[in-house]
Chains A and B, each alone.
Chain A
Amino acid sequence: MRLDEHLPALLLALPLLGAFSAPLVGKGSRRWVELLLPVLSGLTFAVAAALLHRVSVGGTQLYVMGAERAGLALPSGMSLPIRIVLEVDALSALMAASGSLVAFACALFAVPYMRRFSGFDKFASLYFLLVAGMLGMEVTGDLFNFFVFLEIASVASYGLVAFWRDRPEAIEAGLKYTVVSTVAALMVLFAAGFLYGNHGVLNMAAIASRVDLGVADKVAMALLFGSLAMKAGAVPMHMWLPDAYGEAPSCVSALLVSVSQASLYGLFRTSFSLFGLPRVAPLLGWGLVVLGLLSMFVGVTMAIVQKEIKRLMAYHAISQTGYMLLGVGVGLVASLSPARMESFGLVAIGGALYHVINHAMYKGLLFLTAGAVYYSAGTRMLDQMGGLARNMPKTASLFALAAAAIAGLPPVNGFTSKLLIYQSSYALSPFLAAVGMITSVLTLASFVKIFQSAFLGPALPELSEVREVPAPMLAGMALLALAIAGLSLLPGPVLEHMVMPAARALADRGAYIAAVMGGGM
């Protein structure tokens, strides 16, 4: 048996093992759970990295549960896949590697950060479930399983958002997120039902090969598009996000960014791989562009007036999602013409996917620095902070790096992906690039505000006892800072070997279908 054939299944098995073993291990000692959380998260990242390498060398990987061979999608005599199929192409593998790296960094951070609170075994269990749900959404090739993993991630995040249940605000945020998210998940289930009723199959590649854009298909498309845009935090369906991100423990907020990106991945798959036919591509493409513009501008203008550090960052998460929606939307509109696709469409998709990875890293780091500030200073209100750089120089430096990245200051990674998005969206309409640039300027203004309010100025007497956070928390933040440094200093190799293969995988609907409907390996 070759272990590398089973990497897709292992990617899901490891966090599930953690989720079910954490309460048992926790019966012994909290220290065992404190060991389990980072170790299993690190192993999950190692598997995701190995899978990314395998996909980059060998192309799309299929994993068929219960088949004679892992890659056998269509046994002899079968015209449709009936088993659960995991389909890992360059986009899925990149998303999984990015998400699992953030999960590993957050796990390191969480160990000391959550030490002041009881119920760490329950926290770890929910954390692993959240990671399993996120990764499952990114590697599954089955629409019903996508719904199942979406629900696993959602249910885990309800508990984690309201984990500090002594705070009424956390309970309220958890409740709101539960209701809104359940509505969205229900719509995804309805969409799966419409498609199954129409085509008799739930495998996404098989559905894509049979889509005829009749009434049932269009209703399913609208339900998937709207509900996944809501789960990704697109304006005007973003209201749950500042509450949820703001009230969750910071290590969870940082991970929720990547979990929302799994919904974004689902939205992109829906728009390209599932329904990306010329008849509806303009509607889907311009739909993404409009949601992107609204998210960018409303998100950043709401962020700039916030006085609570995590709510401010949460509104920025909405704003940054707008860039990704814009880039992929421009790519989808351009896909109608091979010349435009070659000229700027693929660059737009590449820029958006580069931004997805960048955002996971720098927004993850920003939320962790906010957690470090809360851990040491005991407040999240910017007006109650000041001069923290004197006692927390490492956290301040890491915040400055992440702030430069999100603001798109050269030479940091946010600049590279934004440049790709600006130049490609300019080719479609200069207005799109102008909104992007204005948003970037306002983003810089927001983070100057945080840096000035929290870290600069004279030390406040009430914060004189503040000290730097423990080493594992710094290690979690440093891991993401290293990723930012790599993405900043090596844009060429990152783009050539990771991002553009993912962009081509997303744009090539035929290849996505053929990987399964061709019968597999």
Chain B
Amino acid sequence: MGAIYTGSGYWSVGWWILFAALALAMTIYFRSLGRGDYKVGTEQEEFFNAGHPVPEDPREYRFPAASTYWGFTRALSRYYDFLFAFHTGFLQDYVALTAGVLALFGVLALLV
């Protein structure tokens, strides 16, 4: 009932849920094995915050959306500079782009 064929593959939601449950059970089992090394009152109890100091007051422990994926956008800064320049917000640019694509497609259509 929950299975479909894609032509070159197979997807069964029932089997997937079964395997996911199995994987979850294995994860819980392996995690329970690791708890034997847990030592109360040592540095193992401290939060790890990607190398950054953890604030004393938990309410200050935030990761603002503006900082998320900073490295990703920094690495692609040239691509993003182009994208931001492209998205001017000016209405005449919106209309010009639409007209440009229409014209391009019109020329291509006349050529075939």
Tell me the A228-244 residues at the B interface (CB within 8 Å): 229-230, 236-237, 239-240
Q: Cβ of B13 and Cβ of A218 under 8 Å apart? A: no
CB distance from B65 to the nearest CB of A (A): 3
A453 touches B110 (CB 8 A): no
Contact B72 A304 (CB under 8 A): yes
Indicate if the CB atoms of B91 and A175 lie closer than 8 Å. Answer: yes
Chain B count of residues within 8 A CB distance of the other chain: 47
CA distance A183 to B103 in the complex (A): 13
Instruction: Name the one of B17, B97, B102, B110 contacting A187, with C-beta atoms under 8 angstroms.
Output: B102
CB distance from B83 to the nearest CB of A (A): 6
Q: Which of A236, A343, A424 has the most CB of B within 10 A?
A: A236
- On chain B, the residues within 8 Å of A302 by CB distance are 83, 87
Complex Cα distance, B82 from A301, in Å, reads: 12
Segment touching A, from B4-12, B28-36, B39-47 = B4-12
A240, A287, A347: the one within 8 Å of B6 (CB)? A347
Q: Which residue of B lies closest to A220 (CB)?
A: B109
Q: Are A488 and B112 in contact (CB under 8 A)?
A: no
Q: B69–A304 contact, CB under 8 A?
A: yes
Quick check: B109 and A227 within 8 Å, CB to CB? no
Residues from 59 to 112 in B contacting A, C-beta threshold 8 Å: 59, 61-66, 68-69, 72-73, 76, 79-80, 83, 86-87, 89, 91, 93-95, 97-99, 101-102, 105-106, 108-110, 112
Complex Cα spacing A240 to B11, Å = 37
Q: How far is the CB of B97 from chain A (nearest CB, A)?
A: 5
- Whether B95 pairs with A183 at a CB distance below 8 angstroms is yes
Residue in A176, A222, A411, A452 whose CB lies within 8 Å of B91: A176
Chain B residues closer than 8 Å to A230, beta-carbon distance: 98, 101
Given contacts A304-B72, A420-B6, contact A180 B58 (CB under 8 A): no
Q: What residues on B are CB-neighbors of A215 within 8 Å?
A: 110
CB within 8 Å of B: which of A373-391?
A: 382-383, 386
| Cβ 8 A contact of A219, one of B20, B65, B98, B109 | B109
Residues from chain B with a CB closer than 8 A to the CB of A450 are: 65
- CB of B50 within 8 A of chain A? no
CB within 8 Å for A495 and B4 given contacts A410-B16, A419-B9? yes
Which single residue of chain A is at the shortest CB-CB distance from B3? Answer: A492
A449 surroundings in chain B (CB, below 8 A): 65, 68-69
Q: Which residues of A contact B80 (CB under 8 A)?
A: 301, 305
Q: Write the A423-435 contact mask toward B (1 if CB under 8 angstroms, else 0).
A: 1101100000000
Residues from 268 to 286 in A contacting B, C-beta threshold 8 Å: 279-280, 282-283
Closest beta carbon of chain B to A119's beta carbon, Å: 26
Across-interface contacts of A351 in B (CB, < 8 A): 6
Q: In angstroms, how far is the closest chain A Cβ from the Cβ of B56?
A: 13
Give which listed residue, B7, B8, B66, B68, contacts A452 with CB less than 8 A.
B68
Q: Report the Cα distance A287→B104, complex, angstroms.
A: 11
- The answer on a CB contact under 8 Å between B109 and A221 is yes
Knowing A411-B16, A489-B13 are in contact, say whether A283-B6 is a contact too (CB < 8 A): no
Q: Which residues of B contact A461 (CB under 8 A)?
A: 59
Q: Is A458 located at the chain interface by the 8 A CB criterion?
A: yes
Contact yes or no, B62 A287, CB < 8 A: no
Structural contact, A237 and B65, CB atoms closer than 8 A = no
Query: A394-435: which residues lie under 8 A (CB-CB) from chain B?
Result: 410-411, 415-416, 419-420, 423-424, 426-427
- Which residue of chain B lies nearest to A305 when distances are taken between CB atoms in the complex? B73
A239 touches B97 (CB 8 A): yes
* Interface membership of A445, Cβ < 8 A: yes
Closest to B102 in A: A226
Question: Are B108 and A283 in contact, CB atoms less than 8 angstroms apart?
Answer: yes
Q: Are A458 and B62 in contact (CB under 8 A)?
A: yes
Question: B106's closest neighbor in chain A, by CB?
Answer: A222
Given A236-B97, A287-B108, A301-B80, 5 new contacts (CB under 8 A): A219-B106, A226-B101, A283-B109, A386-B62, A445-B69
Could you jot down 21 A-B contacts, CB within 8 Å?
A183-B99, A218-B106, A218-B109, A225-B105, A225-B109, A226-B105, A230-B101, A237-B94, A237-B97, A239-B94, A302-B83, A307-B65, A411-B16, A416-B4, A423-B8, A427-B8, A457-B63, A459-B59, A489-B2, A489-B13, A490-B2
Q: Which residues of B contact A (CB under 8 A)?
A: 1-4, 6-9, 11, 13, 16-17, 20, 58-59, 61-66, 68-69, 72-73, 76, 79-80, 83, 86-87, 89, 91, 93-95, 97-99, 101-102, 105-106, 108-110, 112
